[in-house]
Amino acid sequence: MTPASEDGDPQKFSTVEEYLEAALYDVEPRLVETRRAIREAIPGAEETISYNIPAYKQDGVVVVQFAGYSEHTSLNFFPSGATFAKFSDELTPYRTSKSAVRFPLDEPLPTELITAITAFRAKEAAEYAARKHSGK
């Protein structure tokens, strides 16, 4: 979704607001709704830009990211193995990649699924941070 700047290079975002404002007209409402679902699941998370897309950090760990494209929006997370295993039935209707789930623009946005995945990832991130800090 990264629009080109005046010199033709991809636009660089420094805030989630900038990212949302640059979104295509038909994608922007879905991105706003994705943001709301994520914030509902992890209200205290740090909102930032990582890899030029919105990201949410908790305990110093990126929990999830989201992005918008001309044909879909995506929820991105890594590592993804446990998440894909936990939500395998719910994710069946969607295309997935190594670290993302794609939600087609012509289908309703599954906000409850986005919230559930985000909450699950937040728990994983907290456990990882705890292990990291304990040295185990």
- Beta partners for residue 104, in sequence order: 72
Q: How many CA atoms lie within 13 A of 123 on its CB side?
A: 8
Model pTM score:
0.89
pLDDT of residue 52: 96
Share of the chain above pLDDT 90, in %: 79
What's the pLDDT score for residue 4?
A: 45
CATH number of 16-134: 3.90.1150.200
**With pLDDT > 70 as the criterion, what percentage of the chain qualifies?**
93
5-53 pLDDT, tens digit per residue, is 455 678 999 999 999 999 987 899 999 999 999 999 999 999 999 999 9
Mean pLDDT of 103-122: 97
In this structure, what DSSP letter does residue 39 have? Answer: H
pLDDT score, position 6: 54
Residue 73 CB neighbours (<10 A):
22
Q: For residue 91, what are the CA distances in angstroms to 97, 100, 103, 113?
A: 11, 11, 10, 9
**Domain extent listing, the chain:** 16-134
* Number of other residues whose CB lies within 10 A of the CB of residue 71: 10
Q: What is the pLDDT of residue 128?
A: 87
**Nearest residue to 46 via CA among 35, 34, 58:** 58
**pLDDT at residue 57 is higher than 80:** yes
Residues 6+ apart with CB under 8 A from 87: 113, 116, 117, 120
For residue 3, whether the previous peptide bond is cis, meaning omega lies within 30 degrees of 0, is no
Provide the pLDDT for residue 1.
Answer: 54
**pLDDT at position 104:** 96
Residue carrying the six token digits 């640059």: 22
